[in-house]
Amino acid sequence: GESVGLHLPTLSVQEGDNSIINCAYSNSASDYFIWYKQESGKGPQFIIDIRSNMDKRQGQRVTVLLNKTVKHLSLQIAATQPGDSAVYFCAENIRGTGRRALTFGSGTRLQVQP
Amino acid sequence: GAVVSQHPSWVICKSGTSVKIECRSLDFQATTMFWYRQFPKQSLMLMATSNEGSKATYEQGVEKDKFLINHASLTLSTLTVTSAHPEDSSFYICSASGTAQENIQFFGPGTRLTVL
């Protein structure tokens, strides 16, 4: 079936460096994407979202890029901090179908080395 | 804003008993609530979607008689794991979405269920 998946299961970066977490999706009808951060033993926390009519959106220290041609999106974290260590999930949805459920990718663990 | 709570945060029960987990949206009206299950080091698996005042829609493979969901108000949904067995041990997470940002789901902190 169609799914959302991730290229890298674990990403290790040095504190202060920029992090890039990638996500590939296979459903060409997907038109809305969200990045979530999940710390150990906690529920996912909303980071940033993007609609398919955009190719870039920026938040505080985070940027999401969407490439619809290759069905790929990425989450960039600037000046990565130890508190950014967590598992990051991308999720997708098809708006207008009446189905509001999100499909989650398999997750990437970000480890920030001090 | 957009805070979702869950209670209890963890529960240990004996095999054969039923466990109820509550999910509340604290500062917004949740027209739709979702229940997920997550095993260690795995992604979230959607169990069911519930709209206030109507029956929940269960994902394929999820037993509706095993996992009872009630969404009685715009701020409360409950998941009852009936006749729990050790294989039901998992991390259960709810999320809620309102009308203002209808596609964003805000997640609760999760409930760790351990069935002995």
B51 close to B71: Cβ distance less than 8 angstroms: yes
d(CA A103, CA A42): 19
With residue A109 as reference, give the H or E element that holds it.
strand A108-113
pLDDT per residue as tens digits for the range B38-80: 988 888 999 999 988 888 999 999 999 999 999 889 899 999 9
pLDDT at B1 over 70: no
Position A102 scores a pLDDT of: 87
* Terminal CA-CA length for chain B: 37
Across the interface, whether the CB atoms of B103 and A32 are under 8 A apart is answered: yes
Cis peptide before B8 (omega within 30 of 0): yes
Contacts of A89 in chain B (CB under 8 A): 43-44
Chain A residues with beta carbon closer than 8 angstroms to that of B49: 99-101
A2 confidence band (pLDDT: 50, 70, 90): very low
User: What percentage of chain B exceeds 90 in pLDDT?
Assistant: 75
Nearest Cα of chain A lies from the Cα of B107 at a distance, in angstroms, of 6
Q: Express each pLDDT in A58-96 by its tens digit.
A: 999 999 999 999 999 999 999 999 999 999 999 998 766
Q: Choose, out of B105, B111, B112, the residue to mutate when testing the contact with A (most A CBs < 10 Å).
A: B105
First to last CA, chain A: 40
Q: Which residues of A touch B105 (CB under 8 A)?
A: 34, 46, 102
